[in-house]
């Protein structure tokens, strides 16, 4: 529905709008804007729309409120049963998807990798331990991108995820490691951040570095509590307790009733965290989660501490190796002994634990997993001749031949048309994005409708159209792995990012959708079944929205209007509730 059609629908339904009451109240004048009527709460029961025209009029009136004048709505709703378009508004325009991008990454991973894939992490050495339990060389922890070694999946225990590896090391008879403990994260190539991630996101847990060796979501929790006396620094504890991260404590405990204000800063590329501010002596303190630099280093430092608790000594250093190092010193796994290994849960469960809480790191790791798989398949297709050819070129450029774990690890630099420039091999992320475009073409998504540069939606450069999102959802509804895809989505009023939303409405337990939010960006896309039993796929995107009155009310509660101003997510929820309560049919 274009803007002209939208105008005709609204104009032609004045009587209907007046009848259905508060949800379609007349637009207030500018003079009365401070008392602008809010959209009906999604907890209220309104007359459900009974005809397609009434549903369209309800949605049109909702998104046409004056408070959205500076914002942009993009909506596409399609019946999966009839194939008919139920409603659309700017469906062909680009919108920032925020975490709705994860819908695409999850679908890609399921399609290309399968629901049952388990991601392996291995411990390698040049030989098995001798009779005294001594490993003569290094112990290499070789990661392949398993994100599941996380406290949140292990009853909040930071060390439990390493337990299976430690148990196998003990079972293998290892009592002492003469060499170094090496964290090898070379399975993925390229920078540790998604393309387009911004620097001020990188200290937060949601901007954690991506690594083939991941533990505890590559973040550390900080717990700040007031001291026993006013004036003393606040005690700060880390979770996990690790020597890799240094805390600089610049906090102070202040008097009863004072406001607790804690500021945390971790410079990009460092593992020093500055904590400053104050905590009221009678307050609850402060808890936050922050990304660490060099997560592979966190992995092996925690592993070393866990080994020490078992009496296993590491005589050498703790260090990490990335793909740039492996370009000149390839790792030939066929010449090493696998001392121990662990595997992740099946991929369908990894995707569930990605989508329901909207975990950025895990989504990025899924894209990298697809990229690494595609690169490996390409290398295998080239065969031994290509491997010999790469080795020859690598030697000419100062490298050595060896086994690749992903394309970037051993792929040569390629001369471009200009003799003064060198074309670098694609990163794992770039190969994953290329695989995404191939997949979307197979899914029937129009070329150019999806411009994603990374896997999570954190990049402000990502744009998609509502048309593309609904086309993907429709394709996945026919996919052999649809059940795994659908089950991974948050359920309204039940779990994930929708746990507290749309409770007590027709949408509760019904809507399964991915949410998304960045500053001034609010999105929700997924599936809903109407009251008449019709299955719908929808994409609702609100961009560039800032409510001045709500912001003022948050700063000064005395200025708040008598009628509560809805949060942006409630404005999206209201449309989903309309769809769930719709008693008519699309045809």
Residue 386 confidence (pLDDT) above 80 = no
Specify the range with the lowest mean pLDDT, choosing from 156-165, 379-388, 465-474.
379-388
Q: Give 3-state DSSP helix, strand, coil % of the chain, rounded to 5.
A: 35, 20, 45
Question: The dihedral of CA 392, 397, 403, 408: what is its sign?
Answer: negative
Q: What is the mean pLDDT of the chain?
A: 87
Please tell me the distance from the alpha carbon of residue 388 to that of residue 395, in angstroms, as a whole number.
11
pLDDT score of 172 more than 70:
yes
Ranges in the chain annotated CATH 3.40.710.10: 3-95+465-581
538, 528 contact by CB (below 8 A): yes
pLDDT exceeds 50 at position 444: yes
- Over residues 460-495, the pLDDT tens digits come to 999 999 999 999 999 999 999 999 999 999 999 999
Task: Dump pLDDT digits (tens) for 505-553.
Answer: 999 999 999 999 999 999 999 999 999 999 999 999 999 999 877 777 7
Has residue 39 got a pLDDT over 50? no
Where in the chain do CATH 3.50.80.20 domains reside? 113-348
Specify the pLDDT at position 364. 98
pLDDT above 90 for 34: no
DSSP calls for 286-329: EEEEEE-S-HHHHHHHHHHHHHHHTT-EE-S-EEEE-HHHHHHS
**For the segment 339-372, what is each residue's pLDDT rounded down to a tens digit?**
999 999 999 999 999 999 999 999 999 999 999 9
Tens-digit pLDDT profile for residues 114-154: 999 999 999 999 999 999 999 999 999 999 999 999 999 99
pLDDT at 435 over 80: yes
Are 512 and 475 in contact, with CB atoms under 8 Å apart?
no
Nearest Cα residue to 481 out of 82, 113, 118, 81? 113
The CA distance from 101 to 95, in Å, is 11
Residues in Cβ contact with 291 at an 8 Å cutoff, skipping those fewer than 6 apart = 202, 203, 204, 205, 207, 208, 209, 218, 219, 266
Please count the helices (runs of H) and the strands (runs of E) in the chain: 15, 23
User: How many CB atoms neighbour CB 578 within 10 A?
Assistant: 27
| Predicted pLDDT of residue 21 | 35
Which pLDDT value is given to residue 524?
98
Q: What is the pLDDT of residue 547?
A: 85
Percentage of the chain modeled with pLDDT above 90: 79
pLDDT at 65: 95
d(CA 140, CA 145): 15
- Report the CATH number of the 3-95+465-581 domain: 3.40.710.10
Q: pTM value?
A: 0.86
Q: Answer for the pair 143, 164: CB distance below 8 angstroms, yes or no.
A: no
Gyration radius of the chain's alpha carbons: 27
Residues 6+ apart with CB under 8 A from 442: none
Tokens for 84, please give them.
């008919």
Q: Quick one: pLDDT at residue 380? A: 78
Segment 170-194 shows an average pLDDT of 96
**pLDDT category of residue 424 using cuts at 50, 70 and 90:** confident
Q: How much is the pLDDT for 248?
A: 97
Residue 511 neighbours by CB under 8 Å, 6+ apart: 491, 492, 498, 502, 526, 527, 528, 576, 579, 580
- What is the average pLDDT across 439-445? 97
- What is the CATH number assigned to the segment(s) 113-348? 3.50.80.20
β-pairing verdict for 286-291 and 139-142: unpaired
8 Å CB contact between 273 and 130: no
Give SS3 for 148. Answer: coil
């Amino acid at each position: 529905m274009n803007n002209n059609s939208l105008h005709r629908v609204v104009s032609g339904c004045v009587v209907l709008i007046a009848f259905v009451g508060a949800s379609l109240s007349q637009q207030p004048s500018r003079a009365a804007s401070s008392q602008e009527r809010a959209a009906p709460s999604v907890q209220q029961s309104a007359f459900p729309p009974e005809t397609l025209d009434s549903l369209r009029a309800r949605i049109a009136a909702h998104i046409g409120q004056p408070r959205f004048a500076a914002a942009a709505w993009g909506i596409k709703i399609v019946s999966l049963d009839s194939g008919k378009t139920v409603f659309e508004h700017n469906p062909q325009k680009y919108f920032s998807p925020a975490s709705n991008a994860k819908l695409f990454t999850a679908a890609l991973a399921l399609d290309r990798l399968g629901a049952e894939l388990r991601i392996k992490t291995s411990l390698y050495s040049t030989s098995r331990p001798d009779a005294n339990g001594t490993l003569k060389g290094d112990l290499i922890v070789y990661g392949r991108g398993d994100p599941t070694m996380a406290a949140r999946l292990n009853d909040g225990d930071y060390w439990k995820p390493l337990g299976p590896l430690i148990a196998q090391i003990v079972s293998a008879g290892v009592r002492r490691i003469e060499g170094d403990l090496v964290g090898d994260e070379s399975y993925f190539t390229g920078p540790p951040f998604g393309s387009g991630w911004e620097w001020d996101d990188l200290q937060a847990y949601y901007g954690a570095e991506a690594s083939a060796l991941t533990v505890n979501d590559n973040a550390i929790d900080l717990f700040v509590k007031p001291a026993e006396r006013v004036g003393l620094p606040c005690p700060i504890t880390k979770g996990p307790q690790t020597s890799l991260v240094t805390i600089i404590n610049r906090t102070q405990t202040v008097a009863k009733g004072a406001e607790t204000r804690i500021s945390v800063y971790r410079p990009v590329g460092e593992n020093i965290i500055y904590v400053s501010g104050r905590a009221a002596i009678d307050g609850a303190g402060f808890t936050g989660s922050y990304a660490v630099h060099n997560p592979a280093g966190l992995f092996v430092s925690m592993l070393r501490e866990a080994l020490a608790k078992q009496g296993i000594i590491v005589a050498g250093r703790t260090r990490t190796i990335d793909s740039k190092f492996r370009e000149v010193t390839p790792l030939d796994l066929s010449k090493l002994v696998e001392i121990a290994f662990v595997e992740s849960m099946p991929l369908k469960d990894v995707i569930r634990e990605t989508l329901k809480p909207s975990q950025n790191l895990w989504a990025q790791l899924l894209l990298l997993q697809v990229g690494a798989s595609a690169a490996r398949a390409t290398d295998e297709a080239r065969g031994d001749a290509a491997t010999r050819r790469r080795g020859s070129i690598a030697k000419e450029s100062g490298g050595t031949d060896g086994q690749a774990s992903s394309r970037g690890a051993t792929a040569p630099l390629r001369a471009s048309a200009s003799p003064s420039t060198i074309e670098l091999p694609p990163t794992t992320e770039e190969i994953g994005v290329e695989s995404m475009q191939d997949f979307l073409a197979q899914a029937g998504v129009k070329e150019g409708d999806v411009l994603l540069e990374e896997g999570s939606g954190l990049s402000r450069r990502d744009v998609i159209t509502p048309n593309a999102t609904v086309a993907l959802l429709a394709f996945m509804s026919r996919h052999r792995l649809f059940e795994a895809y659908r089950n991974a989505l948050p359920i309204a009023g039940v779990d994930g990012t929708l746990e507290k939303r749309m409770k007590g409405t027709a949408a509760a337990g019904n809507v399964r959708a991915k949410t998304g939010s960045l500053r001034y960006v609010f999105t929700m896309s997924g599936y809903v079944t109407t009251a008449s039993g019709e299955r719908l796929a929808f994409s609702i995107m609100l961009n560039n929205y800032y409510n001045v009155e709500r912001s003022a009310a948050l700063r000064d509660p005395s200025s708040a209007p008598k009628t509560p101003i809805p949060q942006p997510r409630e404005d999206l929820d209201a449309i989903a509730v309309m769809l769930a309560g719709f008693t008519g049919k699309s045809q």
